[in-house]
Amino acid sequence: MLLVVEGALSKIEVKQFRLQLAEADWEEGASSAGELAKEVKLNQQFSDHHETGVRLGNLIVSKLSQNPQFISAALPKKIYPPKFNRYAAGGRYGVHVDSAVLQAPGTGEYVRSDISATLFLSEPDEYQGGELVIEGSFGAQPVKLCAGDLVLYPASSLHQVQPVEEGERVSSFFWVQSMVRDDGARELLYELDQSIQMLRTENSQQTEIVRLSGIYHNLLRRWIDV
C-alpha cells in the first residue's frame, strides 16, 4: 500500500525544522550506505547520533503517535528513529531496496522494516527533479509532496530519488515495524477502519458500526504480532 498522510507536520513546524536543519553540519550520505547502495547514493545526511537530528526525530515520532491516519495505516510496533537527508546540485539515490532488518542507534534494538516512510520538508517548487519513484504492482509511481506531508510504502519496494537539478530537497526518512507484517492485510484493515470512521461521522446505524468494528478487531486478532 502506498499512502499519503497529509499535514503530518504543520507549516509552522516545517519552518522550525528547516531553520534548525540549515544551521547543522551535514555529512556525505554514502558513508552510511551498504556496499551496493553506496554506489548509487549521492546526498547528504546526519550521523545517527547528531544532536539536532535526534531531537527533531523524536518530535516526529511524538507527532505521529497522535496521528490517527498514520496509526491506522502503519499499526506501528517499532519505529526506527527518523533520519534526515538533503539533495542538491545533482544529488540522487539510484534504484535500491531498503534493508530488511535495521539496528536502532543507541538502543541496539533490531527493527524489521515493513514500511518505509519519507516526510517531505521542502515545498515542490523549491527544487526541480528529486521525485521519489516507487516501483509497485501498478508500475513506477513518482511522489513529490508538499512540505509536511508523509508517504508510506512497502519497504520491500524498489525505489529511487531522481536527480535534483535545481534547488534543495530536504526530507526525513524512517522505517516502521508493523504489528501486522503483511502489507495486503494492513491495507484491508486500513480500508475497513476508514469505512468505520466514515460511518461514525455520518451517524449511521450504531448496530452496523458495532458489527463492522467487531469484524475489524477479529481480523486484527488473526493477523497481529505483538
What's the pLDDT tens digit per position in 89-140?
999 999 999 999 999 998 899 999 999 999 999 999 999 999 999 998 888 9
Q: What confidence score (pLDDT) does residue 223 get?
A: 97
Contacting residues for 113 by C-beta, under 8 A, at least 6 apart: 80, 98, 99, 100, 101, 102, 155, 175, 176, 177
Which residue among 178, 194, 211 closes a domain? 178
Q: Examine the domain organization and report whether 22 and 134 are in the same domain.
A: yes
E-strand ranges in 29-182 read 41-42, 44-45, 76-79, 83-88, 92-96, 101-103, 110-112, 115-120, 127-129, 132-136, 139-143, 150-154, 159-161, 164-178
In this structure, the answer to whether residues 213 and 134 fall within a common structural domain is no
Indicate if 139 and 194 belong to the same structural domain: no
Indicate if 21 and 127 belong to the same structural domain.
Answer: yes
Same domain, 109 and 198: no
Domain of 201?
183-223
Q: Are residues 94 and 154 in the same domain?
A: yes
Average pLDDT over residues 191-200: 94
pLDDT higher for 36 or 89? Answer: 89
**Residues in Cβ contact with 188 at an 8 Å cutoff, skipping those fewer than 6 apart:** 219
Q: How confident is the model at residue 2 (pLDDT cuts 50, 70, 90)?
A: very high
pTM: 0.93
Render pLDDT for 127-162 as a digit per residue (tens, 0 to 9).
999 999 999 888 899 999 999 999 999 999 999 999
Question: How many domains, the chain?
Answer: 2
What pLDDT shows up at residue 201? Answer: 85
For residues 56 and 156, membership in a common domain is answered with yes
pLDDT at 33: 58
Pair (14, 117) in one structural domain: yes
Is residue 161 domain-shared with residue 187, that is, in the same domain? no
| pLDDT confidence of residue 38 | 64
CATH assignment of the domain containing 90: 2.60.120.620
Confidence of residue 219 (pLDDT cuts 50, 70, 90): very high
Residues 168 and 207 in one domain: no
Average pLDDT over residues 33-49: 79
Residue with the larger pLDDT of the pair 204 and 180:
180
What is the DSSP code (8-state) at residue 90? T
**140, 103: one domain:** yes
191 shares a domain with 81: no
Confidence of residue 37 (pLDDT cuts 50, 70, 90): low
- DSSP-assigned beta bridge partners for residue 220: none
Give percent of the chain with pLDDT exceeding 90: 82
Share the mean pLDDT of the chain. 94
Give the domain CATH number at 203: 4.10.860.20
Asked whether residue 34 carries a pLDDT value surpassing 60, the answer given is no
Report, as an integer, the average pLDDT of 185-209.
Answer: 91
